Amino acid sequence: MSFINNALVRITEILPKSVVKQFSKKYIAGESLEQAISVVKMFNQNGIVTTIDVLGEAIKNEKESIESKEKCIKVLDAILENKLNSYLSVKPTQMGLSINEEFALSQIEELVNKAKSFDNFVRLDMEDSPYTQKTINVYKKLKQNHNNVGIVLQAYLKRTYDDVVDLCKENSNIRLCKGIYVEPESISYKDKQAVRDNFIKCLEHILKSGSYVGIATHDEYLINKSYELLNKLNIDKNIFEFQMLLGVREDLRDKINSDGYKLRVYVPFGKDWYAYSIRRLKENPQVARYIFNSIFGVRS
């Protein structure tokens, strides 16, 4: 199966950019903020909330990072002006984490303060393992003075349960996902079921702690297990939500929404859509299968 998925990625890489764009646009709102706003409005009209992400985390210097921050400020302005039920997600490296941790902290804090001015929220995305602890460090510093900031944790990392226990002491807001980056076996689970088991283990601790959690998965097995856990623990609907990527497993998205659970869709946009698309496929070859299944009308 993994061989087939990787083969699909290689096929995707040699397709003309114009062809890639045709099926990538299902997974990306577009190149402009206006296009992202339109997608968010559509979801909001159907009772689904969102988070908006500006593509382009490959930052080379502080100048580029500041430019990225300004784009994020425009997103926050647009959310307010259009009365969208949405918040902002940011890649810490996009804000300069690969350059300097304190610089990134100041950049992100500006966004958090901006969001706080109209009772909104900023989520720190989690990237690959060189940035895991640095991202947690930034989050903890922000959390000391701000309650409108959250973080992402990845269940495929062996350290994640300990991170969950630690962060839940501070009543954190956590998006829990499987994780998409290729990491060494020494720090990550490679077995599919092991990742699933750790996901549920982490989720149960978060729910029991009373911390808010975004259950971010397209895995039907994990969604069903989450339903079971939520019912078993009799969890209040105000302390969790489900989260999914734009364009992926829309059948499950609609089911979760119709079941009466809060659902948030991750809406990326930007001119760096091509690099983002190819990078995501390399990081998670199974997405290539989703794409090809979508093109040929095959159910995942």
Question: Is a pLDDT exceeding 80 seen at residue 196?
Answer: yes
* pTM metric for this prediction: 0.90
pLDDT at 288: 61
pLDDT at 294: 58
Distance in angstroms between the alpha carbons of the first and the last residue of the chain: 13
**Phi, psi dihedrals of residue 34, rounded to the nearest 5°:** -60, -40
| Tens of pLDDT, residues 137-161 | 999 999 999 999 999 999 999 999 9
Q: Is 111 exposed, middle or buried (0-12, 13-18, 19+ CB in 10 A)?
A: buried
CATH 3.20.20.220 domain position(s) in the chain = 32-269
Q: Find out if CATH 3.20.20.220 is the number for domain 32-269.
A: yes
pLDDT at 292: 59
Which residues are known to be catalytic? 125, 175
| Tens of pLDDT, residues 99-148 | 999 999 999 999 999 999 999 999 999 999 999 999 999 999 999 999 99
pLDDT at 300: 46
Question: Is a pLDDT exceeding 90 seen at residue 275?
Answer: no
Task: Using alpha carbons, select from 229, 235, 219, 234 the residue that is nearest to residue 178.
Answer: 219
Question: Is a pLDDT exceeding 80 seen at residue 207?
Answer: yes
Max CA-CA distance within the chain? 50
| Tens of pLDDT, residues 5-61 | 566 556 666 666 666 666 677 789 999 999 999 999 999 999 999 999 999 867 889
pLDDT at 248: 86
Question: Is a pLDDT exceeding 90 seen at residue 98?
Answer: yes
